[in-house]
């Protein structure tokens, strides 16, 4: 067996290339949009890609599965319940995909998403038992996948995690994330074992009610551009550019500089609406980071934009993305709304849900999903 874990430091995601050394058949699981790392291994090792598998419809990063499958004539695989607008091979619970004497056995583990699967990897040259499991965004190292991205269910997540923790202690756990917004309690390690997670994962010993309640507590904000990314992964839009790189430098300002801003600066608050409603910088308009890519047409390109969130982290990522797609007058507000309030400045608390961002009447983003012209 050949097994390689590939980590994406930009989004905290993990993908996997598994192959039979005997037959040269390979599978890639949860590939990133940039497929060069997989292409390199396939070429250098002389492997033939047979399966490109997504464990679920991703919402925090654009998948490269369709791109890989098309390039290599491989089967594109998801769970049979996946709701997408392109052809794929639907996998059922208990089904096995063969790679020589390797078997990838499907476990339907819904919760984070309804269609989420895990994959047991069995090397028949060594044993009939699985040696490792790819858990997607179900069981994470030190945490479990959050169920609030849309269609998720905390009770189903509890049952799926119990199923995974029922595997033998020795089974190695390789999740779809090692950091990022999918789970707030991930410890940062890219792998673990079932035995270790059963003993030390803080959610593993909880009763069903307590488990469900824990997942409802302190839900992190939705990731940047999640609306566009999920729509792209479903085949409902073609917006791979919505996947931020975070590589573009942007200027920053302190809250006192924001307080003395010149007329004409648009303050854009990228927090969730409920956060915005609890208090925001006077005059700021709300555009949650989850929606930025799909609402670019509402943003003016002829006036300065000051991007703000709670502390400055989300706004920095949003400002960098806006710079990536051509906005030239973007500044991040360091310290955010919390810094503004800590300096004794007033906050407004009224929400106008019908307020446009850059015009008197909101304009809709282009229906073709492409970046609006500057």
What residues in the chain have per-residue pLDDT under 70?
A: 218, 350-374
- Supply angle C-alpha 17, 20, 109, rounded to 5: 50
Q: Which of 317, 216, 212 is nearest to 271 (CA)?
A: 317
| Domain extent listing, the chain | 2-216, 241-342
- pLDDT score of 349: 85
Rg (CA), the chain: 22
Per-residue model confidence as pLDDT tens digits over 114-172? 999 999 999 999 999 999 999 999 999 999 999 987 788 999 999 999 999 999 999 99
User: Cβ(313)–Cβ(284) under 8 Å?
Assistant: no
- pLDDT score of 277: 96
Quick check: helix, strand or coil at residue 52?
Answer: strand
DSSP for 138-155, please give it: SEETTEE--S-SSS--HH
Q: Could you please state the CATH topology (level 3) that the domain comprising 2-216 is classified under.
A: Metallo-beta-lactamase; Chain A (3.60.15)
Laid out side by side, the sheet with 13-19 consists of 2-8, 13-19, 25-29, 48-53, 75-79, 89-91
C-alpha pair distances (Å), 11 with each of 80, 150, 180: 27, 19, 6
**Rounded to two decimals, what is the model's pTM?**
0.90
Active site residue 309: yes
User: Cβ(7)–Cβ(24) under 8 Å?
Assistant: no
Q: Could you please state the CATH topology (level 3) that the domain comprising 241-342 is classified under.
A: Oxidized Rhodanese; domain 1 (3.40.250)
- Active-site position among 11, 77, 182, 309: 309
- pLDDT score of 357: 58
Burial class, 364, CB count within 10 angstroms (exposed 0-12 / middle 13-18 / buried 19+): exposed
Burial class, 26, CB count within 10 angstroms (exposed 0-12 / middle 13-18 / buried 19+): buried
Q: What is d(CA 214, CA 217) in angstroms, rounded to the nearest whole number?
A: 5
Give Dmax (Cα) for the chain: 71
User: Cβ(17)–Cβ(4) under 8 Å?
Assistant: yes
- pLDDT score of 272: 96
């Amino acid at each position: 067996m050949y097994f390689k874990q590939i980590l994406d430091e930009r989004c905290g995601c993990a993908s996997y290339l598994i192959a039979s050394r005997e037959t040269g058949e390979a599978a890639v699981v949860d590939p990133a949009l940039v497929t060069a790392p997989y292409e390199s291994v396939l070429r250098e090792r002389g492997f033939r890609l047979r399966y490109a598998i997504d464990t679920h419809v991703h919402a925090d990063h654009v998948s490269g599965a369709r791109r890989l499958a098309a390039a290599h004539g491989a089967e594109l695989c998801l769970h049979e319940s996946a709701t997408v607008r392109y052809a794929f091979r639907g996998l059922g619970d208990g089904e096995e995909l063969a790679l020589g004497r390797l078997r990838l056995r499907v476990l339907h583990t819904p919760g984070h998403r309804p269609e989420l699967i895990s994959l047991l990897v069995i090397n028949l040259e060594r044993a009939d038992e699985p040696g490792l499991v790819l858990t997607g965004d179900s069981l994470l190292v030190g945490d479990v996948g959050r169920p609030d991205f849309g269609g998720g269910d905390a009770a189903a997540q509890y049952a799926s995690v119990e199923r995974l923790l029922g595997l033998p202690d020795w089974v190695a756990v390789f999740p779809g994330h090692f950091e990022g917004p999918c789970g707030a309690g991930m410890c940062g390690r890219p792998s673990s074992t079932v035995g270790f997670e059963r003993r030390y994962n803080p959610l593993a010993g909880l009763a069903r009610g307590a488990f469900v309640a824990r997942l409802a507590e302190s839900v992190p904000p939705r990731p940047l551009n999640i609306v566009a990314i999920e729509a792209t992964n479903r085949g409902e839009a073609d917006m791979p550019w919505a996947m931020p790189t975070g590589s573009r430098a942007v200027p920053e300002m302190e809250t006192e500089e924001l307080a003395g801003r010149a007329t004409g600066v648009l303050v854009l608050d990228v927090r969730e609406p409920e956060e915005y409603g609890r208090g925001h910088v006077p005059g700021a308009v709300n555009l949650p980071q989850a929606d930025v890519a799909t609402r670019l047409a509402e943003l003016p390109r002829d006036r300065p934009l000051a991007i703000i969130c709670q502390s400055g982290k989300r706004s920095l990522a949003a400002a960098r993305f806006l710079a990536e797609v051509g906005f030239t007058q973007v500044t991040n507000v360091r310290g955010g709304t919390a810094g503004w309030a800590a300096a004794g400045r007033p906050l407004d608390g009224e929400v106008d849900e019908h307020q446009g961002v850059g015009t008197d009447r909101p304009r809709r983003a282009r229906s073709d999903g492409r970046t609006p012209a500057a």
